Structure 1
């Protein structure tokens, strides 16, 4: 009985943290039929993978009358695009073969944040928590483990890139020189690390050091990759 009570307290704690993590900002949604829904939208910054599945929207007219109006939940299946502040989210079809879960049997459409658009498109993708987690542990230990898992999911996001309608690839794991080889100026800047990315190194030891730095300074690496994509797109018209 005591273990069940501890687990129940943990579930309630998570539910409360999700609610507190949501912050409403101006934005709009484009539904599948082209309808535009304007208002304020809540993003879950603490658990950003939920933004890929659904958002909560307060209609602008209803919000003007009552800021505490109950939000409408809109699922990824029902929309194709949304904007929150300066951030844009597109519907992207992607099957995460390394992390198949029960939810993957339903839909593999995700609302991903747009990072680059043009001949190379790029979106940020977060993997989802496990469908089921079973613990035989104290409440404190459960909370610690869950926090570690969430922190790992946040740090472990992908940049899913696609060039000229080729397959989606995780930019952190792909040789991006292949993307840039038709534009020598961008290729050389990328190889030298001029975009803020880790320079391309030759030799096993040098590559291992570069890989470790990419992991340690992932956000800087991500910013450099996106800068390279945007520079490439500015120099190459969409086919």
Structure 2
């Protein structure tokens, strides 16, 4: 594709907005993929390029959250390991999975997440009693959500966050931080597969990636500085937007 100055600016601005949103509540892909498609990239190149540019934002957010102590590698390495394995399996098996059912089912799952969060005002406000042991939680959800992100993706960050809050008892800040290291892991695995298949437009990804870094830094800064109520509101908005985007794409 030909990249003009205007196109480059649009990509950088889109990357900034997506990185900002994704660092707080996930869902950056609902912004970047439509823009890449509208700029003329075929679907397979748009998806591969999206993984490339998203990696800039997820590594920026993950690093910021790690430095601020919102997660530790000692606590999350098992999740990273199984997310890696799940994402690899999901990306490899993408051609063998019927995605139409998921496209219809995922909005229902996200709606359940939205309603549960909406009607649980104290959810994630503070750390609470752990509901599931880490050595069980991370293998199960690492494989499931890593696999899901490897071949489909929308809502992965939301699913991670709500699972970490409800089942591990993390507050929303810690859950958001932990979600980003898992997102980065599955992004990198999928990206490697797309690169091997020649499905990444690197120059476009670099322009978007520059915006992603700035947006992710800004968004993660707000998460670190503000209370969990701010994250909760943003989380609800992004989940609602993700539901609307998937329904619109599928039925209209």
Q: TM-score, normalised by structure 2?
A: 0.26
Which has the higher relative contact order, 1 or 2, with Cα contacts under 8 A spaced 6 or more apart? 2
Which of the pair is proportionally richer in strand?
A: 1
Q: TM-score, normalised by structure 1?
A: 0.27
Larger Rg: 1
